[in-house]
Chains A and B, each alone.
Chain A
């Protein structure tokens, strides 16, 4: 299977989509002393990947179908994201990704997406860009699933000074879980939007709001 270039570009930390500003919950968990070493990091990332990561992956896979009803997809992603802080973080990253992505893969389908949903969610944006570039639902799911853990992992290095080699190994070690998420997403991507999987992440939602609350009171390194 050929590797999709668009998926590589979007997953590259040098992609100028603004993802570096978000820790995906790591900063709050680290501030609470609940994340101290690489083992804690793996545990956090597995939980994140199989919940919020799976939602992102399956919505990215669904969004490669450029004939989707974008408003419906947006409503259904919102329904799976009860945390306003996470919705805001997702839309902010979606906006940044779309700005850079439209320059790379201009397409009338993307114009239609923006016309219907001016600030689409990150996962939907990633999927639509990969779809516009000719990628498959599996490419998009793989990319979105990877992004759900790679950003938080690098945030852990910056926040806790964890060994970058060890953290990189943790991310690489998530390959089986990432493959499972990709496969689930590939299998489910063509479902009507309302029937797409909806795994929740109660602790992540809760910590996202704590982060937001504390962020307003004191300086934090990451937006979310």
Chain B
């Protein structure tokens, strides 16, 4: 299935964010949270609901998110996605592109992606930030359902601010030797990362045995946790982000 969903949020002159455009495309459904008037600076909340069988082999899914000047958005998942193999073993692809204008802020917090056995999935996230834009971007990868080996997965993330690369990373899942390697995933089934470009970064890296918060060279920080299950990985991320001064000073809604 080929699908392209699009979400545009803008701030009105009073600084209140409104959803300007919302185009779901099955299996990507965008559900705005309605029912009350937002204060200035408060993010619009949109839930990303993907159908239970997506991404499926053969799928080519695209999500494009635009956050206008001074607007704020929280885009959250509601349930884990299962990357599943197609009938004829064809690959699936999911690209997410996020553009944030000056003074804009976006929190992209999808639920975990489970790379099931025999899946062949690739994901690509690009985030283009204006000089004063902020972002939090989470990714939780689960290598297979319980008792199952993961299929194949390639994930790429590119985060740029004002045209300068802050972070470029590619993760490859599916090679048993790499998975076991203490230099790669150390045999841990869940990899959780969160890129944070949100005010001040920590002066030095913070770390525990299985999580770290690393200030990047050109701004922004990367929180990483490796764990045996998604709950522990998310706890690790939370522990790491507790030490982020920018998030502490200006807690996102």
A30's closest neighbor in chain B, by CB? B182
Stretch of A106-114, A124-132, A204-212 on the interface side: A204-212
User: Is B207 within 8 A of A78, CB to CB?
Assistant: no
User: Is B182 within 8 A of A203, CB to CB?
Assistant: yes
Min CB–CB distance B182 → chain A (angstroms): 5
User: Is B217 within 8 A of A202, CB to CB?
Assistant: no
Min CB–CB distance A86 → chain B (angstroms): 9
The A-contacting residues of B in range 20-45, CB under 8 angstroms, are none
Interface code A183-203, partner B: CB below 8 Å = 1, 0 otherwise?
Answer: 000000000001001111111
Interface hub of A44, A80, A82 (most chain B Cβ within 10 A): A82
User: Chain A interface: which size bin?
Assistant: 35 or more
B191's closest neighbor in chain A, by CB? A202
The A-contacting residues of B in range 213-235, CB under 8 angstroms, are 214-218, 222, 224, 226
User: Is B224 within 8 A of A206, CB to CB?
Assistant: yes
Min CB–CB distance A51 → chain B (angstroms): 6
- With A43-B181, A82-B214 already in contact, the answer to whether A209 and B207 are too (CB < 8 A) is yes
Q: Which residues of A contact B181 (CB under 8 A)?
A: 43-44, 46-48, 203
Residues of A within 8 A of B (CB): 25, 29, 32, 34-35, 40, 43-48, 50-52, 75-76, 78-85, 87, 194, 197-207, 209-210, 212-213
Residues of B within 8 A of A (CB): 156, 164-172, 177-178, 180-186, 188, 191, 193, 204-212, 214-218, 222, 224, 226
24 interchain pairs, CB-CB under 8 A: A34-B186, A43-B182, A44-B182, A46-B181, A50-B184, A75-B164, A76-B168, A78-B217, A79-B217, A80-B169, A82-B169, A82-B216, A84-B215, A198-B168, A198-B170, A199-B172, A200-B170, A201-B183, A203-B181, A203-B185, A203-B188, A206-B211, A206-B226, A212-B207
